[in-house]
Amino acid sequence: MITSSPRNRQWLTTNFPLLFAVLKTLHGKAIESLDNLRCPVCNKQFRRRTATIAHFVRTHREFFIRIVNEVTDRYRKLLNAINDRTHHIVLKLNGEELRFESRKELAEYIEQHPEVLEQILEQFNASW
Ligand SMILES: [Zn+2]
């Protein structure tokens, strides 16, 4: 979450595919900007990734914290919303039942269909 270097991204996608899918869905442009060594808030260009991240986190602390809170909040809600059975995940979406063999598979689906994330969360909220 703190950095979006390819190595860390791989670690995130392997260990927390759903968390990364949420991050990418909500803040894909910020990630892309950081990947290009550019501050997503003030557009300042950097030569090194570590300097880009350090600037972003320190200079735009409130924005950074907002992203972290937003992503963890949605991620927590998503974990509550998914019907996480032992070997697969079942989601009802627009009257259709979608079945995923793993969280990674669901994460890939969300990355390909970003609009699905809010639909899942809206349905979950409505059912309470
Ligand atoms: Zn900046």
∠ Cα 20 72 10 (to 5°): 20
| CA 68 to centroid of ligand 1, rounded, Å | 17
Q: Name the nearest CA neighbour of 105 among 115, 93, 90.
A: 90
Give me the pLDDT at residue 1, please. 47
61 CA from centroid of ligand 1 (Å) = 10
Give the model's pLDDT for residue 89. 85
pLDDT one-digit tens code per residue, 46-67: 999 999 999 999 999 999 999 9
Distance 57 CA to ligand 1 centre (A): 9
Residues of the chain with pLDDT under 70: 1-8, 83-86, 125-128
Q: What is the mean pLDDT of the chain?
A: 86
Kindly report the pTM of this predicted structure: 0.79
